[in-house]
Amino acid sequence: MRVELVSSSTENFPPKDRPEVVFVGRSNVGKSSLINLITGRNVAKVSKQPGRTRTVNFFLLEDKLYLVDVPGYGFAKRSKEERNRWKVMMENYFTERRDNIKRVFQLIDALVGPQASDMQMMEWLSFMGLPFTLVLTKADKATQREISKTTKVLKDRFPHAKRIISSAKEGTGKKEILAEIFS
Ligand SMILES: Nc1nc2c(ncn2[C@@H]2O[C@H](COP(=O)(O)OP(=O)(O)OP(=O)(O)O)[C@@H](O)[C@H]2O)c(=O)[nH]1
Ligand SMILES: [Mg+2]
- The enclosing domain of 166 has a CATH number of 3.40.50.300
Task: Please indicate whether residue 106, judged by its CB atom, sits closer than 6 Å to ligand 1.
Answer: no
Distances (CA, A) of 93 to 30, 38, 69: 20, 23, 11
The answer to whether 37 and 135 are in contact (CB under 8 A) is no
Q: What length is written for the chain?
A: 183
161 or 77: which leads in pLDDT: 161
For the Cβ of 27 lying below 6 angstroms from any atom of ligand 1, the answer is yes
Per-residue pLDDT at 79: 85
Find the helix or strand (DSSP H, E) in which 82 lies.
helix 80-97
Dihedral sign for Cα 156, 161, 167, 168, please: negative
- Confidence class for position 88, pLDDT limits 50, 70, 90: very high
pLDDT-derived band at 77 (thresholds 50, 70, 90) equals confident
Chain centre distance of CA 14: 19
How many Å apart are CA 175 and CA 178, to the nearest integer?
5
Q: Is 135 helix (H, G, I), strand (E, B) or coil?
A: strand
Q: For ligand 2, an ion, list residues with CB under 5 A.
A: 31-32, 52-53
Domain count for the chain, please give it: 1
Residue 75 banded pLDDT, cuts 50, 70, 90: confident
Ligand 1 atom nearest to CA at 33: 15
Separation CA 134–CA 139 (nearest Å): 13
pLDDT tens readout for residues 55-68: 999 999 999 999 99
User: What pLDDT score was predicted for residue 40?
Assistant: 96
**H/E element holding 32?**
helix 31-39
Quick: pLDDT tens for 4-57. 999 999 999 999 999 999 999 999 999 999 999 999 999 999 999 988 999 999
* Cα 59 versus chain centre, distance: 13
- What is d(CA 66, CA 43) in angstroms, rounded to the nearest whole number? 13
Query: 181: pLDDT confidence band, cut at 50, 70 and 90?
Result: very high
- Give the atom of ligand 1 at the shortest distance from the alpha carbon of 48: 27
User: In terms of residue numbers, what domain contains 42?
Assistant: 3-181
Candidates 182, 175, 135; CA nearest to 38 is 175
Tell the residue nearest (CA) to atom 6 of ligand 1: 30
Ligand index nearest the alpha carbon of residue 52: 1
Q: For residue 76, is pLDDT > 80?
A: no
Inter-axis angle of helices 174-181 and 31-39, nearest 10: 80
pLDDT tens digits, residue range 134-147? 999 999 999 999 99
pLDDT at 122 over 90: yes
Backbone angles phi and psi of 59, in degrees to 5: -110, 120
Q: Does ligand 1 lie within 6 Å of residue 57's CB atom?
A: no
pTM over 0.95: yes
Mean pLDDT across 107-120: 97
